[in-house]
Structure 1
Amino acid sequence: MTQTLCQLENPDAFIRRHIGPDIEQQQQMLHQIGASDLSTLVASIVPENIQLAASPLQLPPASEHQALSELKAIAAKNLRFKSYIGMGYSAVHTPPVILRNLLENPGWYTAYTPYQPEVSQGRLEALLNFQQVTLDLTGMDVASASLLDEATAAAEAMAMAKRVSKRKHANKFFIAKDVHPQTIDVLKTRAETFGFELVIDDAERACDHHDLFGACLQYCGSQGQLHDYRPLIASLSEQGVIVSMAAEFMALVLLESPGKLGADIVFGSSQRFGVPMGYGGPHAAFFATKEAFKRAMPGRIIGVSRDVQGNTALRMAMQTREQHIRREKANSNICTSQVLLANIAGMYAVWHGPQGLMRIAQRIHRYTQILALTLQQQGLKLRYAQWFDTLTIEVADKNAVLQRAKQQHINLRTDLPNAVGITLDETTQRADIVTLVEVLLGRELSLDFAQQDVAACQQSIIPEGLRRNDAILAHPVFNRYHSETEMLRYLHKLERKDLALNQAMIPLGSCTMKLNAVAEMLPITWPEFAELHPFCPTHQAAGYLQMIEQLSEWLITLTGYDALCMQPNSGAQGEYAGLLAIRRYHESRQQGQRYICLIPASAHGTNPASAQMAGMEVVVVACDAQGNIDVEDLRSKASEAGENLSCIMVTYPSTHGVYEQTIREVCEIVHQHGGQVYLDGANMNAQVGITTPGHIGADVSHLNLHKTFCIPHGGGGPGMGPIGVKAHLAPFVPGHSVVSSTLLTEQGAVTAAPFGSASILPISWMYIRMMGGEGLKQASSIAILNANYIATRLAPAYNILYSGPDGRVAHECILDIRPIKERTGISEMDIAKRLIDYGFHAPTMSFPVTGTLMVEPTESESLVELDRFITAMLAIRQEIEQVANGVWPLDDNPLVNAPHIQQELLTDWSHPYSREVAVFPTATDNKYWPTVKRLDDVYGDRHLSCSCVPISDYQ
């Protein structure tokens, strides 16, 4: 048969590569579940009153090469000036061995959050390295595995200070004037919802203010001034004030640790350790505190524990999923950290080691000394005498200086009265110093670097009392892997310990672990996207702004909203930002008394935590026996709240894996009582192209771009959580105090950068562009088909807890293990660990219902992989029956002893099942070997340690 030109051009090739089952396999699956065709299946599951006739996005699909070509043309509109703006962002050299083997490696970027530590030992070790770097440089006792960015870390520090302060009646928080402006912006936003009073003043006046519960100081001020805060911290501490200090990794290589200065909390950005600026992110923030405050820390802590055989093993310790457990009583709503970026920063320290880092930091400081000395010799005045890498230079004709800088394709900091700011970095060269001198002087100058270097060596810019004297990074891991060969093998060794999407399906319900295509990932390391400073003039970011605007328009169409804010850099931040918009909207209508947030009992734990952060009171709405929102209870709770009702937070399809038939009615009830509807976008992968939150009746949603729209999870971050809103909420989404743009409002910020983690947005742009509108609808439909195929195949062996009126599920299903445990003693934990022996990551365990496993296959998994998972689950069910029938004892069987590791094969085998059953329950090819047995959580809870263990413990 002769094909047409359109068929030969094959524009939908990517769709067929992204979607796992081909047409023939889809037909097999449809036959298996008793459905005639895909559209009929979807129509029977999704309530008719919310279905769309076609995908709302009229965008044709593009091939990989076509989409890359289009995006490359957009990226070319970005102007790559040299940026000396500073303010927490600097140019870097990402070591190529880390770029290729970590950042660009799917074995690292497609892994999931390490909730199953036995299949996560590699990235857990990498994160432990990051924590060790944090501890060494900050001088604190306990460090976390990263937060979202420096400004949000400051906000977390403020909230933590209130939690641990003994001055319970104090309600003021002090901020030094020279803290970065974007940090102050985010602190203002967070303080507003917590009801804190902020005092912003010169640091030396902090003790003049009364009723402080905490203070935020910056070690190297935003304009470069280096502070010895020992006396001030001592005075504040004596008054019972909790002192948090913003610091910076590279400066701390040379400076005395904040811990020795007396700080209670230390935070900052690790961006300078090898992570590109990327127009603002993603960048891992570090966070550390004193031992006494460890249980009040936000985020995640990686702890050293042991497995059941006593071998050293790592796990997420305190704070693990604590927002799901404690809900509105959680320390924070943080769900994602920045694991991939923290791993890059930690590996940067491993690669360079203490000597290499010292050389880089000293070189930056020496160049700054030479620049300062030269300018002073030529009659220019520096505003401050003590600094690390940042100079504030007073200039007579600022406009002329800036014009010369523009001609040289240089960005200086421009927001300082009668002065400009210059921050140097590891990419600075001698020629750059010459150019900067000429820009500032307005004339050429012959610069003798050798002579200036000698003069600079005789200077003492950093005072003796602030120079670091103690050794850093003495652990062997930072002193061993300095050759390309050794570093490559170390990264590969860690990667092999983990289970990621490059090896097997990760069937996690509610987390949508789907393909992150290489074509989507390629643009994030293009220099046109990677090198831009987030505060550069907007005309230099024309490509970024075009890409962001285009992506926003597509997402607006796909959600049925009127506007979109791209700032929140995680799903949890999106929730917070959406609730802030609702709060601000009510206040604009003189209805500030609306503070009650209704949340169904089935909701994600981040929902009540976010509501609490937004200053709302949570009222729980019951669910019925089928897992749906109890409409009558909702009606009663909404009526009871009356004029105090702010909103409801719902997830759709529900967290129970069902398209609730009453969702329109739920929206109408809340609107009748003057409330707004927040629709959690966690399950958008079952909506795209089929329905929209706006069509359903919602007012605001966050979108997990790291789920539905293919930004990879990165082992637990990065993420992006932009919010879509109806027109009446559009004026109330976050803005930014540093950057002005038509894409931003005048409201306060929720994250440090105006467009959040902008450098990963090309991933979602590429995904949507290559899929097109109908391709996206097809993806959602296949996700539903795959889930129903699994549910149908497993239903004879496992009870499917919830389903719709026709017995179907949405895009995920919940397997109820409670009856099995009651009858046999085998738990969902045992099944989860046994799946490791079969080569699978476990489904989501005990959420949203204790004693269950929630399975979400996504559209990316082929029929072969789905059948492999089903075969494993059915085989495990037979193994459970062996226990129930007494063939294997309850305390010694393949399930309770799982996972099995290689070393066990070398020991005397005394189990009532064979070695082959233990480690090769199915095929022997492509075997995944976990490196540790099941972890001893009780031991880990009792012996918290978040620093590197001796290297001998790993051998």
Structure 2
Amino acid sequence: MSQQPSTGTDHLPGSETELAAEARHFPLGGAAPIDPTVFADRHIGPDSTGLAAILDALGTADLGALADAAVPATIRMTGELDLPPAATEAGALAELRAFAAKNTPMVQMIGMGYHDTLVPGVIQRNVLENPAWYTAYTPYQPEISQGRLEALLNFQTAVADLTGMDIANASMLDEATAAAEAMTLIKRTARSKSQRFVVDADTLPQTVAVIRTRAEPLGIEVLVADLSQGLPVGDFFGLLLSYPGASGAVRDHQELIADAHQREAKVAVATDLLALTLLRAPGEIGADVAVGSSQRFGVPLGFGGPHAGFMAVRSDVQRQLPGRLVGVSHDANGNPAYRLALQTREQHIRREKATSNICTAQVLLAVMASMYAVYHGPEGLTSIATRVHEQATLLAAALRQGGVTIEHESFFDTVRAVVPGRAAAVVAAARAGGINLWQDGDDAVQISVSEATTGDQLAAVMTAFGVIDAGQGTFVGYGSSSIATPRDTPFLTHPVFHAHRSETAMLRYLRRLSDMDLALDRSMIPLGSCTMKLNATTEMQAVTWPEFAGLHPFAPLEDAAGMLELIEQLEAWLVEITGYARVSLQPNAGSQGELSGLLAIRAYHRSRGEEHRTVCLIPASAHGTNAASAVMAGMKVVVVGTAADGADAGNIDMADLRAKIDLHADNLAAIMVTYPSTHGVYEDTITELADLVHAAGGQVYVDGANLNALVGLARPGTFGGDVSHLNLHKTFCIPHGGGGPGVGPVAVREHLAPFLPGHPLADLGVTAPEDGGVGAISAAPWGSASILPISWAYIRMMGADGLRRATLTAVASANYIARRLDEHYPVLYTGASGFVAHECILDLRPITAATGVTVDDVAKRLADYGFHAPTMSFPVAGTLMVEPTESEDLVELDRFCDAMIAIKAEIDRVAAGDWPAQDNPLHNSPHTAAVLAGEWEHPYSRAEAVFPAGVTPAHKYFPPVGRIDGAYGDRNLICSCPAPEAYED
């Protein structure tokens, strides 16, 4: 039996290192005391003793000295942030309770794309409120993400089945975004060369608004037309139909779709998954694309989000599908395994040639929706839909009997009543009874029935119309089904939708899936650029409170008085933290925040008669979404080079920047720069860069992806930025949830404030699109509002001092890792003083050249040590970018460093010839429990495979699958649940 590699540390049981690791499971005492009333002491991982050890390793006396050494003096702010003193956890919850008390719980029968739903308790407790699900990262390391990938495959299968399409993606940001993405997908694939896109007039107004916002910079003309009268004259490349319509109408669109195809146009259908259990599927009536929201599959209203939109397409355009796509491949042992398929993160590969800037999904919400489908199955969903429809037909029959005109004969859940001159009075009467209805002008009222609607509520609605007195009995007799296009094909036939109907079975299924994954609740996730920090339980608590979760985004604003007060406070705090003048919380992902900021810049230039300013400078090291967003905003990307050598290696090449500015000065719109840089460095030229761009008439966009290294130290709005997007799911503690939810607010200086996102159903105090404003960027006025209490609570409990301390601790921890690992894996870039910012890049390229061991090998081997890998090959191929965050204590930092050092010792054994290049623990990683039971012919032992140095057997995480063959999965694209036979040996 071969020996375990020496790492210079004694790993015998009972050693100091082993006991330190054990302390996280069985505390031994002796740690520095923590003040239980100071939340920052709980959020920040290193205690005073641990921090002292970190600072000692860096040769700095304290955090202030570290700031002086690492952060350029030219950007550092003076004084403290003007924020309220830090609240205790109990105090913050009490304030949140006070906000909640100002909200008015109502029965929401507004509809308009948002519906009351009954969240199964087993899903709320074991998905939404479970850190095993909400602290997980995007499944870019599929071997340790099989649970959430299976859940997403269930989502894709459910959507594809219900829509009758060939393939569905793993979710979109919301329904309006999905519709806009459908428009651009159709533009890329339709045979028609027209620039005109036709939208059914019976489409949700928020969807129309987002389509217009996304179309204008791309030169697409949007025509909103009454398609009940047939297709408009003239050419068009695509068509969006609504089925059911915003008014509730269900029309047979088959002939219309066939006519559009005859005119070489493609057709998208916006639809409702619950309705599709009763309606003929869009794929069966000829649609090319189906979009919508899965919100009513067990996801709370939440004042507009987050909710998982969806998109499903025919197979002929599957390679153009935006967003993420889960596919089925196999692992090194031949077993079926899930992974993200080829178009995932395509904007990082194609950059300015990308067809979408979306790099995230709404994974946590898609998981909830998929589990709602799994729990209820096709029979349960059909039963829910049938009850909803029967109640709607009952209501329509009662209103007709009472003399009220019902506009549509065919509908699913929404009844449109015509009451000339009485609409306001009817809506007011319903509100008096605790029910919100939708008023459309003076003459029409819409009532949407949901699975939560009761008979008493229907009676109260009838009373509001003056049809019956709710206290005088009930109406007798259901109206007959009014659906014009009934479904006659099966759906959700896969066994997964029939196997988990009892709560016991569902509970165990969710547990089995979560056990397959490696999330933040198990170990550190050291991803550079992604900031996987603690999502504290106290921050999360208010999300599911009914006073927040039950708010409809289009209800009268007085219903949401507490939520709006919270939003106002959060916006003010973000303004103070960033140094900007205004913030919009509407963008529901960082990519949408980027787009919003660039559209604001574009609108500003146009307002000044400088429409020709369309050039956007982007450093070569930038996030791929930057270039994709610029193109979507109608800009031309010009790349600025990176300094290749010397003290400035990795920084923006200032000589190239000056040359590009000189070349494009007349047409310069903006520069997008990430700060600290994508290379993890505080570049000391940032203020000079801003001055150069401003002197040429351009605007400075500071990407806020790395804001965790600035909060309390420097403010982009005062060191040169004109606009930034922020990632609340990074710096401000909203959990990643497996790849979403996210919030990407956009912050601007005063001159850009009029060009923040607007909304057709809310006065947000910005310039209207018809007057040169940007328009809506997301479906809901305040985006993913229900998760904003998380960031509010984080800032409220940290206070100014806690936020600054968190930033500097993150910087200290990153530099500690850089110092410990530099002799084993050279740190690629540092600032002028030799320090990194909050992340460091480890260069594995010399190792690969010398030994053949790749960055993939190291990443997969880390899974055997119980760690998620750092960010691979971004921004530099063949490297690992490590970001520890402030939340990890010294024991965990050392455990990660020890693992990386032990892996380097394994690499050295490969280099020395002890292990063959094609048969060693790195090349064969990760190792599953199953491989231990079979024949073992490797030159290393079973123990070396699965219990390497520092891994405690009692706490061992076993990846459920071996290394996955990505190329096979791309060649054989399977993106729905495979038949059970696929899992047979």
TM tier, shorter chain?
over 0.9
| Contact 2:324–2:359 (8 Å) recurs in 1 | no
Distance 1:12 1:640, change over 3 A: farther
Match of 2:896, as an amino acid?
F
Pick from 593, 596, 602: which aligns with 1:574?
A: 593
Pick from 824, 835, 844: which aligns with 2:871?
A: 844
Match of 2:729, as an amino acid?
H
| Contact 1:204–1:232 (8 Å) recurs in 2 | no
Distance 1:206 1:40 in 2: 71
| Contact 1:11–1:61 (8 Å) recurs in 2 | no
Equivalent in the alignment of 2:206: 182
Write the deviation string for residues 403-445 of structure 1: whole angstroms up to 9, x where unpaired: 2122112211112441101000000011111111001116516
Distance 1:213 1:34 in 2: 64
User: 1:558 and 2:577 equivalent?
Assistant: yes
Distance 1:672 1:727 in 2: 18
Deviation at 1:460, TM superposition (A): 3.6
Distance 1:826 1:953, change over 3 A: same
Distance 1:294 1:94, change over 3 A: same
User: 1:164 and 2:189 equivalent?
Assistant: yes
| Contact 2:172–2:311 (8 Å) recurs in 1 | yes
Distance 2:547 2:155 in 1: 28
Write the deviation string for residues 248-287 of structure 1: whole angstroms up to 9, x where unpaired: 1110011110000000000000000000010000000010
Distance 2:765 2:104 in 1: 19
Match of 2:890, as an amino acid?
L
Q: Secondary structure of 2:457's match? A: helix
Deviation at 1:198, TM superposition (A): 1.1
Pick from 299, 308, 321: which aligns with 1:297?
A: 321
| Contact 2:75–2:719 (8 Å) recurs in 1 | yes
Q: Secondary structure of 2:222's match? A: strand
User: 1:936 and 2:965 equivalent?
Assistant: yes
Pick from 607, 610, 616: which aligns with 1:588?
A: 607
Pick from 646, 656, 674: which aligns with 1:633?
A: 656
Distance 1:581 1:206 in 2: 37
Deviation at 1:776, TM superposition (A): 0.3
Distance 2:728 2:695 in 1: 32
User: 1:818 and 2:867 equivalent?
Assistant: no
Q: Which runs of 5+ in 1 are unaligned?
A: 1-7
Match of 1:192, as an amino acid?
E
Q: For 1:416-435, list aligned pairs within 5 A.
A: 416-435=441-460
Deviation at 1:953, TM superposition (A): 4.0
Pick from 96, 103, 107: which aligns with 1:82?
A: 107
Q: Secondary structure of 1:27's match? A: helix
Equivalent in the alignment of 1:828: 855
Equivalent in the alignment of 1:413: 438
Match of 2:956, as an amino acid?
K
User: 1:135 and 2:167 equivalent?
Assistant: no
User: 1:908 and 2:927 equivalent?
Assistant: no
Deviation at 1:399, TM superposition (A): 2.9
Distance 1:763 1:156 in 2: 29
Equivalent in the alignment of 2:306: 282
Write the deviation string for residues 452-481 of structure 1: whole angstroms up to 9, x where unpaired: 13xx2xx24113xx1111111111111010
| Contact 1:54–1:689 (8 Å) recurs in 2 | no
Q: Secondary structure of 2:718's match? A: helix
| Contact 2:758–2:764 (8 Å) recurs in 1 | no
Distance 2:690 2:525 in 1: 33
Q: For 1:476-495, list aligned pairs within 5 A.
A: 476-495=495-514
Distance 2:836 2:983 in 1: 44
Q: Secondary structure of 2:705's match? A: helix
Deviation at 1:864, TM superposition (A): 0.3
Write the deviation string for residues 566-611 of structure 1: whole angstroms up to 9, x where unpaired: 1000000000000000000001001111000000001000000000
Q: Secondary structure of 2:127's match? A: helix
Equivalent in the alignment of 1:790: 817
Distance 1:426 1:136 in 2: 21
User: 1:775 and 2:802 equivalent?
Assistant: yes
Equivalent in the alignment of 1:4: none
Distance 1:449 1:262, change over 3 A: farther
Distance 2:513 2:378 in 1: 21
Q: Secondary structure of 2:519's match? A: coil
Distance 1:594 1:205, change over 3 A: farther
Q: Which runs of 5+ in 2 are unaligned?
A: 1-32
Distance 1:953 1:9, change over 3 A: closer
| Contact 1:793–1:870 (8 Å) recurs in 2 | yes
Pick from 49, 52, 59: which aligns with 1:24?
A: 49
Q: Secondary structure of 1:688's match? A: coil
Distance 1:448 1:214 in 2: 51
Pick from 342, 360, 371: which aligns with 1:318?
A: 342
User: 1:193 and 2:217 equivalent?
Assistant: yes
Distance 1:206 1:675, change over 3 A: farther
TM-score by length of 1: 0.97
Equivalent in the alignment of 2:531: 512
Distance 2:470 2:85 in 1: 57
Equivalent in the alignment of 1:230: 254
Distance 1:209 1:617 in 2: 33
Distance 2:158 2:287 in 1: 17
Distance 1:300 1:932 in 2: 21
Equivalent in the alignment of 2:17: none
Distance 1:745 1:212, change over 3 A: closer
User: 1:503 and 2:534 equivalent?
Assistant: no
Deviation at 1:41, TM superposition (A): 1.1
Distance 2:390 2:316 in 1: 38
| Aligned pairs, number | 942
Deviation at 1:13, TM superposition (A): 1.8
Distance 1:602 1:741, change over 3 A: closer
Q: Secondary structure of 1:691's match? A: coil
Q: Secondary structure of 1:91's match? A: coil
Distance 2:766 2:604 in 1: 19
Equivalent in the alignment of 2:19: none
Q: Percent identity?
A: 55
Pick from 341, 344, 360: which aligns with 2:365?
A: 341
Distance 1:53 1:595 in 2: 36
Equivalent in the alignment of 2:976: 947
Distance 1:849 1:41, change over 3 A: same
Equivalent in the alignment of 1:707: 730
Deviation at 1:138, TM superposition (A): 0.4
Pick from 906, 911, 922: which aligns with 1:879?
A: 906
Distance 1:450 1:61 in 2: 56
Equivalent in the alignment of 1:247: 271
Equivalent in the alignment of 2:11: none
Distance 1:826 1:556 in 2: 47
Match of 1:269, as an amino acid?
S
Equivalent in the alignment of 2:30: none
Equivalent in the alignment of 1:540: 559
Distance 2:970 2:273 in 1: 29
Equivalent in the alignment of 2:353: 329
Match of 2:465, as an amino acid?
L
Match of 1:119, as an amino acid?
I
Match of 1:784, as an amino acid?
V
Write the deviation string for residues 183-233 of structure 1: whole angstroms up to 9, x where unpaired: 001111111111111111111455333220111110111011101000000
Equivalent in the alignment of 1:599: 618
Pick from 33, 42, 45: which aligns with 2:67?
A: 42
| Contact 1:734–1:745 (8 Å) recurs in 2 | no
User: 1:362 and 2:383 equivalent?
Assistant: no
Match of 1:597, as an amino acid?
C
Q: Secondary structure of 1:695's match? A: coil
| Contact 1:107–1:501 (8 Å) recurs in 2 | yes
Distance 1:118 1:776 in 2: 35
| Contact 2:196–2:237 (8 Å) recurs in 1 | yes
Match of 1:687, as an amino acid?
L
Distance 2:681 2:597 in 1: 24
Distance 2:655 2:481 in 1: 73
Equivalent in the alignment of 2:677: 654
Distance 2:680 2:243 in 1: 49
User: Over aligned residues, Cα RMSD in angstroms?
Assistant: 1.5
Equivalent in the alignment of 2:9: none
Distance 1:893 1:294, change over 3 A: same
Match of 1:410, as an amino acid?
I
Deviation at 1:234, TM superposition (A): 0.3
TM-score by length of 2: 0.94
Q: Secondary structure of 2:397's match? A: helix
